[in-house]
Amino acid sequence: MNIAPGKIAANVSCAEAAVREAAKGGADMIALPEMWATGFDFSQIAEYRQSLELRELEARLGTLAATLRVNVAAGSWLHFDDKDAASNRAHFFDSRGRHLAHYDKTHLFAPMEEDLFLTEGKGPRVFESEFGKTAMAICYDLRFADIFAAAAREGCKMMLVNAAWPAERVAAMVELAGLRARENACLVVVVNCVSPREPEAMSNDYVSPIFGGRSCVFGPKGQELFVAPQCAGGIYFIDIVGD
DSSP state of 43: G
Is the model's pLDDT at 206 over the cut of 80?
A: no
The reported pLDDT for the residue numbered 240 is 86
For residue 211, CA distances in Å to 40, 76, 111, 119, 220 come to 12, 16, 14, 23, 26
Largest Cα–Cα separation, the chain: 49
CB 141 within 8 A of CB 107: yes
Whose CA is closest to 33, among 91, 97, 111, 94? 91
Q: Averaged over 142-164, what is the pLDDT?
A: 97
* 197 pLDDT higher than 80: no
For the chain, percent of residues with pLDDT exceeding 70: 94
Q: What is the mean pLDDT of the chain?
A: 93
To the nearest 10 degrees (0 to 180), the angle between helices 145-153 and 170-184 is 30
214-234 CB burial, b ≥16 within 10 A, e <16: bbbbbbbebeebbbbeebebe
Which residues, in sequence order, are CB contacts of 235 under 8 Å at separation 6+?
A: 18, 21, 22, 25
pLDDT band at 243 (very low <50, low <70, confident <90, very high): low
* Number of helical H runs and strand E runs in the chain: 7, 10
Q: Dump pLDDT digits (tens) for 221-237.
A: 999 999 999 888 889 99
CATH class of the structural domain 8-227: alpha beta
What mean pLDDT comes out for the span 155-163?
A: 97
Per-residue model confidence (pLDDT) at position 203 = 47
Q: In the prediction, which pLDDT does 205 show?
A: 59
Opening angle at CA 193, ends 185 and 236, nearest 5 = 65
